[in-house]
Each structure stands twice: as structure tokens, then as C-alpha cells.
Amino acid sequence: MRLLDISLTVSPQMPTYKGKKEMKPVIEKTRSLEEGANESRFIFPSHTGTHIDAPRHMIDQGKTIDQIPLDRFWGPAVVIEILGRPAIDRDALLPFSSFILKDHYLILKTDNSLTNLSREDFVYLTESGAQFLKEKEIRGLGMDSIGIERNQPDHPSHRTLLASGIVIVEGLYLTHVLPGMYLFFAFPLKIEGGDGSPARALLLTW
């Protein structure tokens, strides 16, 4: 068995949604070893880097990240590679329908993995693509973009998935990952009232 780390490294230089500087983390040293121990303070936006969206992110009365059962954050997964498309819609997903299984994670590897994740014109999931995944009753969606949507009014892709209890994991690093079957793990911090959380995401292969 082998673990593949598919998390982005946290640093002030890391990619952010559309390259927004205000979304970059701040890491401050607060103590030195001469003062007793090396310690730091992190200022980290909840939707930067590899992270999980809670329903509260887009639904006013939706569950917060600490209210979601831990067993929702792992499970069997399929990595599907879809290249050459500016957006992932129902038509893009239909050829892979037999691999997209109920209560499994779908991990989408797109042209985002071949470029700068801070780009403004990243590949995203359309409303029809989200509706297709809702119908397939997947457990969760992971994608190689900092957000699954770009400029859709009212965020229908997010709302469709989150209202159905489908976990959304954004900011996956998939450049080194081949299509196939895996076990997927991505656990959030237990943040009271959190609309989302950073996560360490892994694929287990055998």
C-alpha cells in the first residue's frame, strides 16, 4: 500500500482563489528557542489551499464543519481525468458514468493540474455537472481548483451539492496522480461554527 499526499503546501506563496492576495495565509513567529520554544501563529482563511466546504459556506442554516460526522470525510474514490474542457458539465461526466458510484468520492483531475492554480479562468463545475453528481448520489467531490465555481450567480453548483449532503473538497494537488480507484481521506479541523476548514488530503493505493 502507498499513501499519496494530494494537499497543497501551506505558505505565504501558495496559490489562492483567482490569485487573491487577501486569501494568502500569514505565518508569524511568536517565540524563539532562546525564549523557550519555537512557536508560530497562523492567520489562515477557511477557504484557502486544500480545504473542505461546510454547507454553512453557502446555505444560511446549513451544517457547520464541526457538525458533519467524521465518516463523511473518507471512503472509496475514483480519480477521473478530464482534459481539454474549460468547464465540467453533465456531458463531460456522462462518458464516465459507470465509474461514478453511489456513496463514493469522485476526484476530478482537469487542466488545472497542468497550470497555475491561481489562474482566474480555472476549470470549474457547472450547474448541470453538479446536478448529475447529485443524481449519482456520490459521497463527495474533490477537485484540483481552489473553488469549484468561478462566476456563477448564486453559486448553484455549491448549493446543489451541499444541500444534498455531498462533501466538497477543493484545492487538491493531483499533478502526480493517475486515474483509477483509491481510498480517499480528508479530515477537517473541528472548528465550532466553521463554514469550512483546511484539510490534509490523502489517497491510499494498493
In sign, the C-alpha dihedral spanning 164, 96, 173, 18 is negative
Angle between helices 127-136 and 156-163 (to 10 degrees): 10
Residues 94 and 159 sit within 8 Å (Cβ to Cβ): no
150-195 pLDDT per residue, tens = 989 999 999 999 999 999 999 999 999 999 999 999 999 999 999 9
Domain locations along the chain:
2-10+46-205
Residues 86 and 115 sit within 8 Å (Cβ to Cβ): no
Q: Name the band, by pLDDT with cuts 50, 70 and 90, for residue 114.
A: very high
The CATH class, in words, for 2-10+46-205 is alpha beta
Mean pLDDT in residue range 78-102? 98
**Residue 56 predicted with pLDDT over 90:** yes
Q: Name the band, by pLDDT with cuts 50, 70 and 90, for residue 78.
A: very high
Note if the pTM is more than 0.75. Answer: yes
pLDDT value of position 131: 98
Closest CA to 201 of 149, 143, 130, 115: 143
Mean pLDDT in residue range 130-139? 98
CA 101 to CA 112: how far, in whole Å? 24
pLDDT value of position 206: 87
